[in-house]
Structure 1
Amino acid sequence: MSNKITILGSGFGLGFYVPGLLINYHLKDNGINSEVLIFENYIIEDKRNKIALNKQTYHQNFPLALLAQRMPWDIRESIDNDMVEQLLNTWEKENRSNFIVMSGHWIYILDEYRKRINNQPINVDILYIDAEPSPSWKGLSKYNPKYSEDYDEKFIFDADKEEISYYLPIGSKKPIPFKERENRFMIHGGGWGMGTYQERIHELEENGFKLDVIAYKEDEVRDEKNGHRYFMMDPAWKAWDSNELIFPPFAEVKHDVTPIFESKEGYHSSFDVLRNAKAVISKPGGGTLIDSLAAATPIILLEPFGHHEKINADLWEKLDLGIRYETWKESGFKLDMFECMHENLVKQRNNAVNYVEEYINKLVKDTKGKVM
């Protein structure tokens, strides 16, 4: 069997893209052969081209995005069969056997691979990014309710047990002590700039908060005299545009200054902004929870994008790692609770298992040390 680790993610949302790159980076840093594949490179071109249009639409209309998320979608109708055939030929030729899966869209392809190799055993970690399976998994369960029975399910955040089981390492630096952080709050709408974050900026400004705003488009960047800073991902970048998968190009954006978008090698640049903030104001996506835990930065929880994000928010609130925006507002925007939440996050991070380390140890055990 091949010892190469195949990490199966998606560019559809950064929460299913960035964690795959983080895992890949740390595996390679430990001398392990691995690669990341994203699902969008294996769907028909027409469907792929519609993703950019949907991103723009959902950025502008959050209720429509919520409605679209609840609509059933059989991903098998979008697959480019020729591309998948080439992929399966490669896997069979290289005798691939080790997979980490973060999007339910890949399960159909994995099942086809198992048929091709006569159901020989393969090692598959299903790594759930959210505290309950997100829509790509729920849609899958409608036509394949037993999709996980031959695979190993891992929840980073376990809603049923009300605990954090794993963390993903981001960079090599420890969390910044709370008192040493800048007196600023990061605010964003996830990789698609979705949700109600823009509606909160003026209210926060009126209450004297200095914000690090992750803008989705340049016309969202306002005069810096208000004390805010503005950042953006390169609007021209798409996760599936290149054979080389990189962390999202990112830059601070100022009026009348051409931004220089750059991508770090080992982690996403927006993490540097988040780890310096007193808290991050965001919808509770799985990627934001991963960042919050790694940086020990509390989350001020905005309206969730679907039920799975509501479960994320419930868990963060239950463990006193964040607070819902409405609750914080009712308190008069008090600040004294955030240091305690920061300390709680540090404890949770210290008690959680490093997923990459556990995976490597398991791999070494299974292959008797031959993992190069």
Structure 2
Amino acid sequence: MSQENVTLLCSGASLGAYIPALIASHQLSDRGIASDVVVLENILLENKRNNVSETKFAFHRNFSLALMAQKLAKDITPSIDPDLTSHLLATWKHQERKRFMIFSGFWLPIANRYLQETDSEDIAIDLCHMDASVSTSWKMYDTTHPAFRHVWFFNWEDKRLSYIFCVSDDEPVSYNQRSNRFLIHGGGWGVGTYKSKVPKLVHQGIKLDIIAYEQQDIENKTEHSRYFLIDPTWKPWEKNAQGHHQFPPFGEVKDDGNITFQNSQPYPEVYNLIRQSSGIISKPGGGTLLDSLSAATPLVWLAPYGDYEKNNGLLWEYLGFGISYEKWADSGYSLDILERLHLNLKQARASLPRYLTNYVETYYPEMITEPLIVLSEVT
């Protein structure tokens, strides 16, 4: 195991930033490289951290409120605890941390401070953009330091993918071997218009796997639909008994209402559903694009959460990986269309270089245990 930690900076307020960091941690460990996942909420002022869960449920219940709040997003620096931040930076300096991946732009003020306070000649920081265009957390901070490498998994401006971030090493399930069910959800916080689509889809005879986010979401269960719940009490910034951050506890809601939450995989439990699904019906968040490409599961995209998610959906449609809900409904909910999208995803998945392979090749070539893949230029 490499003695040098790769520091993975993410936010529990966005599972699209949190989950890739945890996946990266597991996969780096598999390659013999140590890592340290740091969740932004753990250095927030206590009252600000306590507000996150309340805000999450408010946004889940009111998509318009979520959209309005996104437009009013501002610099997070006043919400950061100065003592906790100083302690964190002192730890990094003492350990001479040099390798970072940032999955949330709200970490940039702290990263820039670290660069200012240390000899930054050897420091390398990957800015991992999980959306196809600049999202809210990246817009308001300086990203020009030469230590930063902008990493775009999907790029709307260039209309292309740079490489793949695999959720697991499992190959995609053939389309004709899938469950003939659709996963429908609202991203990590359960926001968007997905709940309003359920009655029409059920009327069409489409079998759904519905992700719920609180008990009231499952009060009107529909026939032939399965419900799954992310443990509403789980907080991403809290560690488990072993001192590790964990994937969301997730389980199926049984007919008697019982739920057995699990999170024992080296990736989110929901990914097992995604691999078997005929399609994902969701707003086009970056984490959903990652799932779609990794599992070669087509995306039927709903109303986006902001302009950058709109660009995510447009890119997926442009590349032949997804279709808007409206166009899919107009096609008569065609499975043939979705199978073609699946084949496009499968072909792209097979041809793209893997991000973590490139990362290890670049910074830890002595740890490579698989054939090297040369990454196309990252801009």
The question of a shared fold, defined as TM-score above 0.5 by the shorter chain, is answered with yes
2:190 is aligned, of 190, 193, 217, to 193
How far off its partner does 1:235 sit?
0.7
For 1:333, give the aligned amino acid.
Y
1:171 corresponding residue in structure 2: 168
**Alpha-carbon distance in structure 2 between the residues aligned to 1:11 and 1:224:** 29
Structure 2 vs 1, CA of residues 99 and 324 (structure 1 numbering), >3 Å: closer, same or farther?
same
Contact 2:209–2:225 under 8 Å retained in 1: yes
2:288 corresponding residue in structure 1: 288
1:245 corresponding residue in structure 2: 245
How far off its partner does 1:223 sit?
6.3
1:221 corresponding residue in structure 2: 218
For 2:184, give the aligned amino acid.
I
**Alpha-carbon distance in structure 2 between the residues aligned to 1:370 and 1:307:** 40
Identity %: 39
How far off its partner does 1:256 sit?
2.2
Contact 1:24–1:34 under 8 Å retained in 2: yes
SS in 1 for 2:140: helix
1:305 aligns to 2:320 (yes or no):
no
Q: Which runs of 5+ in 2 are unaligned?
A: 369-379
1:207 aligns to 2:204 (yes or no):
yes
Alignment of 1:1-372 (within 5 A): 3-140=4-141, 144=142, 146-147=143-144, 149-221=146-218, 226-242=223-239, 243-365=243-365, 369=366
Contact 2:213–2:231 under 8 Å retained in 1: no
Contact 2:45–2:80 under 8 Å retained in 1: yes
For 1:310, give the aligned amino acid.
K
Structure 2 vs 1, CA of residues 225 and 108 (structure 1 numbering), >3 Å: closer, same or farther?
closer
SS in 1 for 2:127: strand
**Alpha-carbon distance in structure 2 between the residues aligned to 1:136 and 1:72:** 8
Q: How many residues align?
A: 364
Q: Deviations over 1:10-33 (max 9, x none)?
A: 111110000011111000001111
RMSD: 1.7
* Mean Cα deviation higher: 128-137 or 159-168: 159-168
Q: Deviations over 1:194-222 (max 9, x none)?
A: 00000000000111101000011122225
SS in 2 for 1:86: helix
How far off its partner does 1:121 sit?
3.5
TM-score (norm: length of structure 1): 0.94
How far off its partner does 1:370 sit?
7.4
**Alpha-carbon distance in structure 2 between the residues aligned to 1:196 and 1:68:** 17
**Alpha-carbon distance in structure 2 between the residues aligned to 1:126 and 1:74:** 18
Q: Deviations over 1:158-198 (max 9, x none)?
A: 11221111211222311000000011111000110100000
**Alpha-carbon distance in structure 1 between the residues aligned to 2:88 and 2:226:** 43
How far off its partner does 1:260 sit?
1.3
SS in 1 for 2:265: coil
Q: Which runs of 5+ in 1 are unaligned?
A: none
**Alpha-carbon distance in structure 2 between the residues aligned to 1:96 and 1:3:** 7
SS in 2 for 1:353: coil
Structure 2 vs 1, CA of residues 196 and 150 (structure 1 numbering), >3 Å: closer, same or farther?
same
Contact 2:124–2:147 under 8 Å retained in 1: no
* Mean Cα deviation higher: 19-28 or 147-156: 147-156
2:377 corresponding residue in structure 1: none
**Alpha-carbon distance in structure 2 between the residues aligned to 1:359 and 1:232:** 34
Contact 1:107–1:147 under 8 Å retained in 2: no
* Mean Cα deviation higher: 158-167 or 117-126: 117-126
Q: Deviations over 1:74-104 (max 9, x none)?
A: 1111111111111111101100000011111
Structure 2 vs 1, CA of residues 319 and 148 (structure 1 numbering), >3 Å: closer, same or farther?
farther
Q: Deviations over 1:335-368 (max 9, x none)?
A: 2101110000001111211111110000124xxx
How far off its partner does 1:134 sit?
1.1
2:373 corresponding residue in structure 1: none
Contact 2:283–2:302 under 8 Å retained in 1: yes
**Alpha-carbon distance in structure 2 between the residues aligned to 1:25 and 1:170:** 10
